[in-house]
Chains A and B, each alone.
Chain A
């Protein structure tokens, strides 16, 4: 068959360890993005023009930059210009948090702006304070429309962390390459099998998220 190497030695364990790094970077970034993104989204809906302009520039900057450029910028740029020495993993988390927060901030903004003024007026007329209105009326509605695209964002972050290997992070794709290199002469078809395995791993992680997003979508349009 030519795929026996996958089951020899610690190959599988090494791949899973790489997947662990992928998920660690993704999940820490997502966990940091959520509070930052919510704060950013709420600030976005404030009347303050300067604040909105600053946030808009930040969001657009993050969006137009390829993630790889951001990774190089933080990993190499910060070391040479600021004298900071981030590990590849820390640099990755910084970049994916900055990206996730910006995208999530924009999603939160859109979700908040989609709520009609009549909801605020209705709550006001009932005597709710603005805090009570936000917590009990506005936020629950925003979350509903926010969840499906947020889950999609998590999927995008997980997939994009494969770029981290280019700044020396040994995540799952990098592990795959090491395995291919190691088995190059004994298993000519090794690359194909390894990449197929990587594809399967990503599929197992991301497909349920995609299903979850679709289910949430259906539920939110109820």
Chain B
């Protein structure tokens, strides 16, 4: 899996000056006495792909869920284009500016693929039905599923369902797309087709925050890598994170994958 250098790849100096599309400031989240996120700062610039890694249970999913508002945060704030959207003022409008694709196949089984993709634009944005369908068909064609528009979700493979789920999120034109281990529940032979789609989206300049356990994919797609552990960011770096991790914890984390490889 390779990825050409993107023309719009955010240069380091630009990244520090521009307002990030998505910014998380001091996010804190506990479940009962279990402190999962203990002050997370993270910014995603326009066109940037940030990959979030870390051991299982370190709170990667929780962080994404906090960002989009699926979990109430206990502290800190979420900003979109520089304005705070977390807290009481989080409204439907702010929610629609972010998209999220989950690990579980969560297509709506009571409607066709096409209706899955057009539901939110027509319902939330009051988009014209015909236009929404045209757009949906274009999106489906782009992920190689043009002929599946009228199929029911449960007749599709897991990989196809995840590609539809990506289309469904894209149909709302999110400013930033959050992906939470979108291939973790897939059979190995379907992982590639889904990741290839994500890679293409990155090349087209879509801003994304990605959680993945697929290290070769992470290496290929990441503009920046953020490693989470113990409720805090332990390391943040470019794609060379994988070759030259700075901290012992990151090295230990990456070794767990080497071990898996050797053991296979």
Inter-subunit contact B108/A137 (CB<8 Å) = yes
Most chain A CB atoms below 10 A, which of B65, B119, B154: B119
Report the count of interface residues on B (CB-CB < 8 A).
Answer: 29
Tell me if B241 is interfacial: C-beta within 8 Å of chain A. Answer: no
Which residues from chain A contact B168 at a C-beta distance below 8 Å? 126
The answer to whether B172 and A124 have CB atoms under 8 Å apart is no
Q: In chain A, residues 102-139, which have Cβ atoms closer than 8 Å to a Cβ of chain B?
A: 116, 118-119, 121-129, 132, 136-137
Decide: A126 and B172 in contact? CB cutoff 8 A: yes
A122, B70: Cβ atoms closer than 8 Å: no
List of A residues within 8 angstroms of B165 by Cβ: 122
Q: A127 contacts which chain B residues (CB < 8 A)?
A: 92-93, 95-96, 120, 124, 172
- Cβ-defined contact, A118 with B106, below 8 A: yes
Complex CA gap A116/B215 in Å reads 29
Residue in B70, B93, B111, B123 whose CB lies within 8 Å of A128: B123
Counting chain B CB atoms within 10 Å of each CB, the highest count among A116, A121, A122, A123 belongs to: A122
User: B53-78 toward A: CB 8 Å interface, digit per residue (1/0)?
Assistant: 00000000000010011100000000
In angstroms, Cα B99 to Cα A121, docked, is: 11
Contact partners of B92 in chain A: CB under 8 A: 127, 129
Q: Contacting A125 at CB < 8 Å: which of B95, B111, B154? A: B95
Check A125 against B110 for contact (C-beta < 8 Å): no
SS of A interface (majority): helix
Does A208 have its Cβ within 8 Å of any Cβ on chain B? no
Query: Which B residue sits closest to A122, measured CB to CB?
Result: B106
- Docked Cα-Cα span, A123 to B168, in Å, equals 10
Against A, the Cβ 8 Å flags (1 = close, 0 = not) of B124-158 are 10000000000000000000000000001010000
Give min CB distance, B120 to chain A, whole Å.
4
B51 at the interface (CB under 8 A from A): no
Check A124 against B108 for contact (C-beta < 8 Å): no
Q: Please name all residues of chain A whose beta carbon is closer than 8 Å to the beta carbon of B124 when the two chains form the complex.
A: 126-128, 132
Given A125-B99, A127-B92, A119:B172 Cβ within 8 A: no
A156 at the interface (CB under 8 A from B): no
Residues of A within 8 A of B123 (CB): 128, 132, 136
Check if A125 sits within 8 Å of B119, measured CB to CB: no
Chain A residues in 8 Å Cβ range of B195: none
Expressed in whole angstroms, the Cα–Cα distance for A129 and B92 within the complex equals: 7
**B100 on interface, CB distance cutoff 8 Å:** yes
List 15 A-B pairs, Cβ < 8 Å.
A122-B106, A122-B107, A122-B108, A122-B165, A123-B108, A125-B68, A126-B99, A126-B124, A127-B95, A127-B172, A128-B124, A132-B123, A137-B108, A141-B110, A144-B110
- Kindly list the 10 A-B residue pairs having the minimum CB-CB distance in the complex, ordered from nearest: A127-B96, A122-B106, A126-B120, A125-B100, A118-B106, A140-B110, A127-B124, A118-B104, A127-B95, A141-B110
Give 7 A-B pairs besides A125-B102, A128-B120, A222-B152 with Cβ atoms closer than 8 angstroms.
A118-B104, A118-B106, A127-B93, A127-B96, A128-B124, A129-B92, A141-B108
A residues with a Cβ closer than 8 A to B are 116, 118-119, 121-129, 132, 136-137, 140-141, 144, 222
